[in-house]
Structure 1
Amino acid sequence: MSNKQPDSVSSVQKTMAIFETLCSEKEIGISDLAQRLMMSKSTVYRFLQTMKTLGYVSQEGETERYALTLKLFEVGAGALQNVDIIDYANIEMSKISEETMEALHLGALDDDSIIYIHKIDSKYKLSMQSRIGKRNPLYSTAIGKVLLCEMSEEDVRERLKDVVFTQSTPKTHKNIDELLTELPVVKEQGYGEDNEEQEVGLRCIAVPVYDRFNQVVAGLSISLPTMRFTESKKEEFIKYLHESAAEISHRIGCKSYPKFS
């Protein structure tokens, strides 16, 4: 049996190889391109002319130098519009749920609050009460802290300037200054905690989810009653959360999820 690939498959591979090489160069000549790809100049020329006709490649004047147009970016941007972070998050959150049986939440920034955009309930009978679409403060939640931790102090103050720091529990931060002392720690360690700050008897740990611009766009958290919390569980949960958040971030375009020690 022959191992030779069909011409159509070979053509696709050659096209993608040309695209990838052009991505790394502002412009390049046919001779250099052919040499890099180990193709004949006539083959490269034929492919480039087709790509030029379709609008993906431009030719610099009458020279043999070619460059990518923005059409490929437009196609990629169109695909990104269809990326649903919730679909990817649900897969990862379901995995953590199977391992821990605890409640999982995905939250995003909404003005001066967080809003839960997805959740998986705890498998235990004793669990927290929450719902998709519910809003909670940024200053007293683990997700809120990871959403704020990479902002400048000025931006945090501006975002929370009209917020009244309601003392939900004795452990709730009383003001912006108290919160700001914690945020650098959250950024450094790569996770935020709610240690009975939003609700007495409830612990929560959250990690950041990054987009293609390496901006924090969501927080992924696990919540459990203090009666089920231990330090060994905490380390285990952080590991699960970082692994899943890294995968979600990768799926929505993040090239390099930060390495947290």
Structure 2
Amino acid sequence: MATTKTIQSLERAFSILELFQSGKSELSLKEISDSIGLNKSTTFGLVNSLTTLGYMLQNEDNQKYSLGLKILSLTNAVKMNNILIRVSRPYLEELSTKYRETVHSAKELNGNIVYIDKVDADTSMYINTQIGTKNYMHCTGVGKVLLAYKSDDEIETFLSTHQLKALTFNTITNPEHLKREMAEIRKNGIGGDDEEIEMGLSCVAVPVMKSETTAGFAISVAGPTVRISENKKNGLAEDLKNTAAKLSEIIYGYTAE
């Protein structure tokens, strides 16, 4: 029986990526080297290649490595096998059809948000987002509603490690202002952005809760500020909340009291 040969460098590279299946979000070069049984020089060459290609990221603060967002860019081929995307997609399409605007779903990853699905509307303005790409938490609707359900300590850590970069005149750059908005989001169960990432663009966002205090992911409806303001008057917030409640129950088995 013939045997199939594998390319050793590829085998080693995938072994590095598979280390993150253990649950650790970050690994040092030494930890990677020890785990795969290679010297640090060889390991660095592999890690450096994976980082250059976008499949790994290096944390500049502690020099440790994590999975890169390029991994998520491969999800188009397999996304229908992902229960979160498969279950939520029809609900996102329903919102997009009703309001004729772009709908996103997103998760938090290392202090940023990553878009996991997107439904474009033909009549909506062009929104430059792609599945698998990251964006800021402090000035996106999905980012803010996910940040709001972090613990106080986690929010303080985020504020101490992430610059609140101003992208427009409306971007919140004051930590105390942002914390007040987090409190309002927790109180009302809904958030958004008001031309904070791009002038003329606004959104309404809600968390999909895993439990009473933990958000699993977030969904939003985005479009021109004038239309979003009008949609708010026509039930957009309630529709988003109702959709999120359904997804919480279906995906996480959580029903709010």
Q: When the two structures are superposed, what TM-score results if normalisation uses the length of structure 2?
A: 0.64
What's 1:239 paired with? 238
Deviations 1:69-108 (A, max 9, x none): xxxxxxxxxxxxx871111110110111121110000010
Q: Give the deviation of 1:159 after TM superposition.
A: 2.5
What's 2:253 paired with? 254
What's 1:183 paired with? 182
Q: Give the deviation of 1:126 after TM superposition.
A: 2.7
Q: Note if 1:127 corresponds to 2:126.
A: yes
Q: Return the letter of the residue paired with 1:226.
A: T
What pairs with 1:89-238 in structure 2 (closer than 5 Å)? 89-124=88-123, 126-211=125-210, 215-231=214-230, 233-234=232-233, 236-238=235-237
Provide the C-alpha distance between the structure 2 equivalents of 1:109 and 1:131, rounded to a whole number of angstroms.
15
Q: Return the letter of the residue paired with 1:242.
A: K
Q: Give the deviation of 1:161 after TM superposition.
A: 1.9
Q: Return the letter of the residue paired with 2:92.
A: M
Q: Return the letter of the residue paired with 1:133.
A: G
Answer whether contact 1:112 1:160 (CA < 8 A) is retained: no
Q: Give the deviation of 1:153 after TM superposition.
A: 2.3
Q: Give the deviation of 1:117 after TM superposition.
A: 0.4
Tell me the C-alpha RMSD between the 2 structures. Answer: 2.0
Distance 1:235 1:191, change over 3 A: farther
Secondary structure of 1:252's partner? helix
Provide the C-alpha distance between the structure 1 equivalents of 2:211 and 2:85, rounded to a whole number of angstroms.
16
Provide the C-alpha distance between the structure 1 equivalents of 2:239 and 2:226, rounded to a whole number of angstroms.
20
Secondary structure of 1:207's partner? strand
Q: Return the letter of the residue paired with 1:97.
A: S
Q: Return the letter of the residue paired with 2:164.
A: F
Q: Give the deviation of 1:152 after TM superposition.
A: 2.6
Q: Give the deviation of 1:236 after TM superposition.
A: 1.2
Alignment size in residue pairs: 177
Answer whether contact 2:108 2:114 (CA < 8 A) is retained: yes
What pairs with 1:24-39 in structure 2 (closer than 5 Å)? none
Tell me the percent identity.
29
Provide the C-alpha distance between the structure 2 equivalents of 1:187 and 1:214, rounded to a whole number of angstroms.
9
Deviations 1:207-247 (A, max 9, x none): 01022676201011000111323345355111111111111
Answer whether contact 2:84 2:251 (CA < 8 A) is retained: yes
Provide the C-alpha distance between the structure 2 equivalents of 1:103 and 1:179, rounded to a whole number of angstroms.
25
What's 1:57 paired with? none
Distance 1:139 1:205, change over 3 A: same
Provide the C-alpha distance between the structure 1 equivalents of 2:233 and 2:104, rounded to a whole number of angstroms.
16
Answer whether contact 2:124 2:223 (CA < 8 A) is retained: no
Q: Return the letter of the residue paired with 1:122.
A: A
Answer whether contact 1:141 1:197 (CA < 8 A) is retained: yes
Answer whether contact 1:143 1:207 (CA < 8 A) is retained: yes
Q: Give the deviation of 1:200 after TM superposition.
A: 0.6
Provide the C-alpha distance between the structure 2 equivalents of 1:160 and 1:254, rounded to a whole number of angstroms.
32
Secondary structure of 2:149's partner? coil
Q: Give the deviation of 1:162 after TM superposition.
A: 1.9
Q: Return the letter of the residue paired with 2:175.
A: I
Q: When the two structures are superposed, what TM-score results if normalisation uses the length of structure 1?
A: 0.63
Q: Return the letter of the residue paired with 2:205.
A: A
Q: Return the letter of the residue paired with 2:90.
A: I
Deviations 1:96-149 (A, max 9, x none): 112111000001011111110000012216332211112111111111111011
Answer whether contact 1:213 1:254 (CA < 8 A) is retained: no
Structure 1 alignment gaps of length 5 or more: 1-81
Q: Return the letter of the residue paired with 1:123.
A: D
Secondary structure of 2:160's partner? coil
Q: Give the deviation of 1:165 after TM superposition.
A: 1.5
Q: Return the letter of the residue paired with 1:152.
A: S
Which range moves more in the overlay, 236-245 or 150-159?
150-159
Structure 2 alignment gaps of length 5 or more: 1-80
Provide the C-alpha distance between the structure 2 equivalents of 1:225 and 1:232, rounded to a whole number of angstroms.
11
Answer whether contact 1:111 1:159 (CA < 8 A) is retained: no
